[in-house]
Amino acid sequence: MLRSVILAAARSKRVERLVEKAPVSRDVVRRFVAGTTTDDALAATRELVADGLAVTLDFLGEDTFTAEQATATKDEYLRLLAALDAAELTPEAEVSLKLSALGQKFDEELALANAREICAAAMKAGTTVTLDMEDHTTTDSTLDMLAELRKDFPTTGAVLQSYLRRTEADCRELAVAGSRVRLCKGAYKEPESVAYQTALDVDKSYVRCVNTLMSGAGYPMLATHDPRLITIGEDRSRWFDRSGDSFEFQMLYGVRPEEQRRLARDGYTVRVYVPYGTEWYGYLMRRLAERPANLGFFARALATKK
């Protein structure tokens, strides 16, 4: 029921206007979204890089239904990469792409062409791209496009979600030399037939996937804010004799910034996922609708910097 209420609010322009004007909303946006413009993204990136952190930038917008919208998203990524290059912020900063924002849901060939152009611009700028993962219906399509892009851009990163039952097998396939794989828990509401339904089962899957990735020849990227899983990641890195630059931790912009800096001081690579753009309202509401428990997660993050 709560999910339905949140989704209804996400579609309401009246609610959106009210949320935009509320002081607490401005606090949430400033904390978890870098801003609306390319310049805002660059400013956040400079600050994070100066603190010894790496960055991956996400231009917000998932509901793309026309070729014009997909092209506009691609063009923003091209502007962003050119700006990062000019500001000498690469290779510390890369970009994350949602293929749905590039046309995946209505024209996979268009999405692949757009992604290829962005990957080429990233290579020219001295950085790379990671393909975000969305709900389970797009997993096969995303991994297929990943394989195509890696033919010309082998450093293109993948994202796998531990709540999907298939992910441990996907980790085994992708834990190869040169393969960058971000492992996260997953935030979408998925049916029991394809996804674990309890937090314990999702966490157990995450640990199994960490072991698979750490024991392989690839480059694991452990995306989590869970203190237990971070500790396990540190332990597994020692167990598999991983140097601090042979894997990385990843966390969201505005979430546990002190822990991000602590890990960086301890010699680990820490990459911050930085969203920006005018679609922040839809972004935050979708995160809540996909998993209403995220409401408490954001509230706790606002209350603490640890």
Q: Which residues are catalytic?
A: 132, 182
Q: Among all chains, which residue has been given the structure tokens 């020219």?
A: 124
Q: Kindly list the distances between the CA atom of residue 6 and the CA atoms of 3, 95, 129, 262, in Å, as whole numbers in the listed order.
A: 5, 29, 31, 35
CB 94 within 8 A of CB 129: yes
Q: How far is CA 245 from the centre of its chain?
A: 20
Note whether 42 and 48 are within 8 A (CB). Answer: no
Q: Which helix or strand (DSSP H or E) is residue 227 part of?
A: helix 227-239
Burial class (CB in 10 A: 0-12, 13-18, 19+), 160: buried
Element spanning 222, H or E: strand 219-223
The angle formed by the CA atoms of residues 283, 285 and 289, to the nearest 5 degrees, is 120
- Alpha-carbon span 104 to 100, nearest angstrom: 5
Radius of gyration of the chain (CA): 18
Which residues does 288 contact at the CB level (< 8 Å), separation at least 6? 6, 294, 295, 298
Q: What are the distances in angstroms from CA 2 to CA 77, 186, 216, 279, 292?
A: 34, 19, 41, 22, 7
